[in-house]
Amino acid sequence: MTPDVTPGVAAGAAGATAGGGPEPAVPARRNPLRGLVEANVVVVTALAIVSSLLIGGVLIIATSPTVLHALGRIGSSPGRALGVAGSTVGDAYAAMFTGAIVSPSGLGHAITTGHGWTAVLTPISETLVSATPLILAGLGVALGFSTGVFNIGAQGQLIAGALASLYVGFEVHLPIGIHLPLVVLAGAVGGAVAGFVPGYLKARTGAHEVITTIMMNYVFLDLLNELLATQPFQQPGQSNAISRSMPATARLPHLFGAGLRANLGFVVALALVVAAAWFMRRSTSGFAFRVIGSNPKAGRTAGIDVRKVTTAVLVMSGALAGLAGMATLSGTDFFLSSGYGGNIGFDAITVALLGRNRPVGVLLGALLFAALDVGGRNMQAATGIPLDLAFVIQAIIVFFVATPALVREVYRLRETGASLGQVLSKGWGG
């Protein structure tokens, strides 16, 4: 894409009725507004993250007995009190960082000795593993949001995808080269079917997808519980609600050896980020999706079939969520149990908001979310600060990102053009 327009063109436009007189030409270069708005999104998001880390710091101080104790004597030894407060917060965030990304000392050791690489890479590998389903389901949710379709059913679609993958996994016996692609495909198809139902209902009867997708979550949650207790899904000889496990030919291969859990699922997710970005920007269907997302009436007038688009978007969104279910199943878990998927389907909504419905934004949002999760666990283990604090920070980030006006107010930023909130609040009336 070359955003540059030769200045002569618009100058000609301005001069056309004026008879080419010495009119001041309307300058046309790359549209400055768009750049500013975009930059603003990045700035606001970055400030949101910084702010929530600051607030998180305050919370650490306020909940740590040692710090409070030291602060109680701030009158007699102020330096010590502030030092304790600072080091507690610093230790907590350091533990988060080493847990989620890399431990600098471990890295140094590995570089000098050439040993211990697995330990060094474990944090980042874990972050990638956690991020994978968030990226996939987040892409699905974002795709819906940018089309004005509110898919709250990623959780159910994820379960549907996982069930389909599992079935193909244990029921089919083929070499990995054929079997694994089938497992992946089954995940997508399972999720797509789960997305198709609300899509069809909306197109045919106008039933609002927020309601139907939420209801479908319950359907799949209960279906999962039911299937886990019956054949052929239940692990034979088990009385617990545990499924059969995926055979070796149905598992996503590791990326960096058996010691690290990072697997091909992350690569699939990355590929789909690229594919989704291309789809929304460059494909005709993606264009139709975006038109319907911002002005369905104009889209209809221009001959875009709104009902077809709504159904298609829920199918695609469901397929992506289904792949998220597949990725966890055949990447790390290898069997299903009750409550499978945890909160991924709902975190995906947050990730989509965080990424402002852009594929690359979703990727970054998912990585951040996963890092906070994985790092938070290490923080708990290393410093005793509860994992909940990491969740609080996640929540505060989302809070700030969802209220850009607040961030702008706090940091006295000037608004540039289109309001960010619009994107998020559109479509509920549908």
Partner 1 sequence: MRLELRGVTKRYGPLVANDHVDLTVEPGEIHCLLGENGAGKSTLMNVLFGMARADEGEVRIDGSPVRFADPGEAVAHGIGMVHQHFMLVPVFTVAENVVLGFEPTRALGFLDRRRARADIRLLSEQFGLEVDPDAVVEDVPVGVQQRVEILKALQRDAKLLILDEPTAVLTPQESEALFAIVRSLARAGRSVLFITHKLKEVLAVADRITVMRLGRVVGTTTASESGESELATMMVGRAVELVVRKGPARPGAAVLEISGLTVVDERGLVAVDGVDLEVRAGEILAVAGVQGNGQTELAQAITGLRPAVAGSIRIDGEELAGATPEAAIAAGVANVPEDRQVDGLVLDMAVEDNLVLDIFDRAPFARHGARDLAAVRSNAERKLVDFDIRAPSVLTPVGSLSGGNQQKVVVARELSRPVKLLVASQPTRGLDVGSIEYVHRRIVEERDRGVAVLIISSELDEVLALGDRVAVMYRGKITGVVDPAAGRDRIGLMMAGAAADPVAPAAPPEAGPPDRPETGAADPPEAGPPACPETGA
Interacting positions 368-427 with partner 1 (CB under 8 A): 417-418, 422
CB closer to partner 1 out of 34 and 204:
34
Give whichever of 24 and 114 is closer to partner 1, judged by the CB atom.
Answer: 24
Binding to partner 1 (CB under 8 A) within 16-35 occurs at 16-19, 21, 23-24, 26-34
- Least distance to partner 1 from the beta carbon of 301, Å? 4
Crossing angle of helices 388-402/344-354, nearest 10°? 40
Q: Which amino acid is at 307?
A: R
Q: How many residues bind partner 1, per CB under 8 A?
A: 47
Applying the rule CB under 8 A, the residues between 288 and 307 that interact with partner 1 are 288, 290-291, 294-295, 297-305
Q: How far is the CB of 146 from partner 1 (least distance, A)?
A: 11
Calpha distance 300→430 (Å, rounded):
14
Per DSSP, the residues of 182-243 read: HHHHHHHHHHHHHHHHHHHHHHHH---HHHHHHHHHHHHHHHHHHHHTSTTTBPTT--SSBB
User: Should residue 284 be labelled a site residue for partner 1 when binding is judged by CB under 8 A?
Assistant: yes
Between the CA of residue 38 and those of 177, 192, 356, 399, 424, what are the distances in Å?
42, 32, 11, 20, 15
The answer to whether residue 38 forms part of the interface with partner 1 (CB under 8 A) is no
> How far apart are the C-alpha atoms of 194 and 216, rounded to whole Å?
8
Least separation in angstroms between residue 285's CB and partner 1 is: 7
Q: How far is the CB of 155 from partner 1 (least distance, A)?
A: 30
Of 118 and 295, which CB lies nearer to partner 1 in the complex structure?
295
Does residue 203 touch partner 1 according to CB under 8 A?
Answer: no
Among 264, 270, 291, 271, smallest CA distance to 280 is for: 291
User: Quick one: tokens of 171?
Assistant: 């029921």
**Using rule CB under 8 A, residue 285 touches partner 1:** yes
Burial class (CB in 10 A: 0-12, 13-18, 19+), 313: buried
Asked if 5 is part of the footprint of partner 1 (rule: CB under 8 A), the reply reads yes
- Measure the CA–CA gap between 284 and 84, rounded to whole angstroms: 58
Q: Interface with partner 1 by CB under 8 A: which residues?
A: 1, 3, 5, 9-10, 12-14, 16-19, 21, 23-24, 26-34, 36, 282-285, 287-288, 290-291, 294-295, 297-305, 417-418, 422
